[in-house]
């Protein structure tokens, strides 16, 4: 028997963001319509609001502007829900943001949301986690085609990965918590690979760098440091497929309290070569070699970090690169989605060629705009 989300009242946190908005769009396109979808975020762009005007189905759509750190707001937001998809998160690989802010949003916000769900008898909770919960670690130990049973020393020293790991632990530990109506909370976490697709700001930033470099992408990662990015449409679909499976009592027993790696059939490739592969049809090239040897990169990153520490009492200096970011660029790190496929039937609906074509079309549409921005001294 297949299960649907018909009649479900769902809230998506981070609904104004890259992934959250895509999850909402897919929820509103379900053949068997939900009773309600609540979109929670601090802001919603005018462009995003326009995209929802075409959805004129029976699903009630509500916009909730509020802060994930506001317990009172969360208590009201969760009333009458049966499903929460928690995609809200601060992503910071450079250290631009205050560490306490990252922890407050990613960790404390998740705790407060879980408490609100328990108090309001929300049955199902799906958390958008990250591959950075696993690593790469500070030594840059590689993982090729890893899975949920892969042994790995995940030593976290950078705020983002650390906060996602702690938040995920809270979510999985909350599985089975008693609800006020006598039921119990059912949770799971989806560890996403690097997400690409239409609207990806990281891809846009790399595109800006390429335009400034005479339409040549910078080689920031070793060719051998392969990763397997996931298309935004596929990771969004994974959330919905997991939500449907959780409504199946037999499947829910298998999924509850577990985490899953979510990738797709994007060919394993280094980050730099991936960026180029998406845009090469538009005439962009890529540097053949690293601009600086890897060991020298790490040495320079260490010096810049020391400088940042020395200047901290007087001024905030954020180095353009750090050892954590270099580990991401230079560590082979790929994971299989087979367990998600086995446990809750995850199947990427978009092929690599389809994802590549859609992303390429989006890049083509923004190139003229980005060139104009950069000409006026603006940048991602």
Is pLDDT of 1 > 60? no
Residues with catalytic roles: 160
Interval 219-276: pLDDT, tens? 999 999 999 999 999 999 999 999 999 999 999 999 999 999 999 999 999 999 999 9
DSSP letter (8 states) at residue 107: I
Mean per-residue pLDDT of the chain? 94
Nearest alpha carbon to residue 263 among 193, 312, 310 = 193
Percent of the chain residues past pLDDT 90, beyond the cut? 88
Model pLDDT, residue 351: 98
Reported as a single tens digit per residue, the pLDDT across 69-123 is 999 999 999 999 999 999 999 999 888 889 999 999 999 999 999 999 999 999 9
Backbone angles phi, psi at 345, to 5 degrees: 75, 25
pLDDT at 56 (0 to 100): 65
pLDDT of residue 336: 98
Phi and psi at residue 369, in whole multiples of 5°?
-65, -45
pTM check: above 0.75: yes
Indicate the fold that domain 9-199+229-267+333-354 takes in CATH.
Answer: Rossmann fold (3.40.50)
3-class DSSP assignment, residue 110: helix
Q: Kindly report, residue by residue over 12-61, the tens digit of the pLDDT.
A: 999 999 999 999 999 999 999 999 999 999 998 887 777 776 676 789 99
H or E stretch at 203: helix 201-212
How many C-beta atoms lie closer than 10 Å to residue 274's C-beta?
Answer: 23
Burial environment of residue 1 by CB neighbours within 10 A (0 to 12, 13 to 18, 19 or more) = exposed
Query: Which of helix, strand or coil describes residue 362?
Result: helix
DSSP 253: H
Read off the tokens for 193.
């690979």
């Amino acid at each position: 028997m297949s299960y649907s989300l018909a009649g479900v009242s769902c809230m998506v946190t981070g609904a104004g963001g890259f992934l959250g908005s895509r999850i909402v769009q897919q929820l509103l396109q379900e053949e068997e319509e939900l009773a309600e979808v609540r979109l929670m975020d601090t802001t919603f762009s005018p462009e995003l609001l326009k995209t929802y005007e075409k959805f004129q189905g029976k699903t009630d759509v509500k916009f909730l502007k509020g802060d994930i750190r506001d317990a009172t707001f969360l208590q009201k937001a969760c009333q009458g829900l049966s499903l929460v998809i928690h995609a809200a998160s601060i992503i910071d690989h450079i250290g631009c943001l205050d560490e306490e802010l990252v922890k407050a949003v990613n960790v404390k916000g998740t705790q407060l949301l879980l408490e609100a769900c328990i108090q309001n008898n929300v049955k199902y909770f799906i958390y958008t986690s990250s591959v950075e919960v696993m690593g790469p670690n500070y030594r840059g130990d590689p993982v090729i085609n890893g899975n949920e049973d892969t042994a790995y020393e995940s030593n976290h020293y950078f705020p983002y990965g650390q906060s996602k790991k702690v938040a995920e632990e809270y979510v999985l530990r909350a599985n089975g918590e008693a609800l006020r109506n006598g039921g119990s909370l059912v949770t799971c976490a989806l560890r996403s690979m690097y997400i690409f697709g239409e609207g990806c700001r990281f891809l846009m930033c790399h595109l800006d760098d390429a335009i400034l470099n005479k339409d040549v992408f910078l080689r920031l990662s070793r060719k051998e440091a392969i990763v397997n990015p996931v298309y935004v449409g596929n990771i969004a679909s994974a959330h919905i497929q997991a939500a449907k499976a959780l409504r199946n009592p037999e499947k829910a027993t298998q999924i509850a309290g577990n985490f899953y790696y979510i990738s797709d059939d994007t060919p394993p490739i280094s980050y730099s070569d991936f960026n180029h592969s998406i845009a090469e049809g538009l005439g962009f090239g890529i540097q053949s070699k690293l601009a600086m040897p890897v060991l020298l990169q790490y040495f320079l990153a260490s010096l810049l970090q020391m400088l940042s520490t020395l200047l901290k009492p007087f001024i905030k200096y954020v180095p353009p690169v750090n050892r954590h970011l270099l580990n991401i660029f230079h560590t082979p790190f790929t994971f299989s989605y087979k367990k998600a496929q086995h446990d809750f039937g995850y199947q990427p609906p978009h092929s690599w060629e389809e994802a590549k074509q859609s992303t390429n079309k989006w890049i083509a549409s923004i190139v003229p705009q980005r060139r104009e921005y950069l000409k006026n001294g603006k940048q991602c």
